[in-house]
Amino acid sequence: MKFLNIRKYIFTNFIAIWSYIFLYIAYDSIKHIITSKAYIYSDDKIVWGLMTYIYFLILGCLIIFAILEFLIRYLIAKKFPNFKLNLKIKIPKFIITVYNIIFSIGFISAIVLFFAAIIFYVYYTYFVN
């Protein structure tokens, strides 16, 4: 399996989309915190801890589903080697290039944010309290 063909899997696309959703939610909450006149630091830690935990859980589930999708497709290819879906859809190269850029940025940021969420979760679970 080539790494560049990873974008054809459904759950890897969900992983990339989820990173954009989380980045938007984080941006919106930071904007709300900055513009809010009643800023309380302890509430901010609770909100960020909850957001990190939710991101960690959902992205973890998506990664598990992506691995299961890889295994299922691998088993289908092993069991039925002649099973091919030949869908020829003409898509302009510009759209494919933009999609590749958006997918790559989202997938890489999802991986980075996942490890950051693990570190954040472990830090606040074991070292803060």
pLDDT higher at 46 or 74: 74
pLDDT at 37 exceeding the cut of 70: no
38 pLDDT band (50/70/90 cuts)? low
3-state secondary structure of 87: coil
Over range 38-65, report the average pLDDT.
74
Contacts of 102 (CB under 8 A, 6+ apart): 16
CA proximity to 64, closest of 54, 56, 74: 56
Tokens of 84: 């091919």
Cα gap 55→117, rounded to integer Å: 7
User: What is the sign, positive or negative, of the torsion defined by CA atoms of 112, 114, 117, 122?
Assistant: negative
Residue 60, amino acid: G
pLDDT higher at 16 or 46: 16
Give the model confidence (pLDDT) of 54-91 as tens digits: 888 888 888 899 889 888 888 887 887 777 767 777 88
Please work out, in degrees rounded to the nearest 5, the angle formed at the alpha carbon of residue 125 by the alpha carbons of 121 and 129.
Answer: 140
pTM above 0.75, yes or no: no
45 pLDDT band (50/70/90 cuts)? low
Contacts of 25 (CB under 8 A, 6+ apart): 51
pLDDT at 1: 45
Tokens of 109: 């940021």
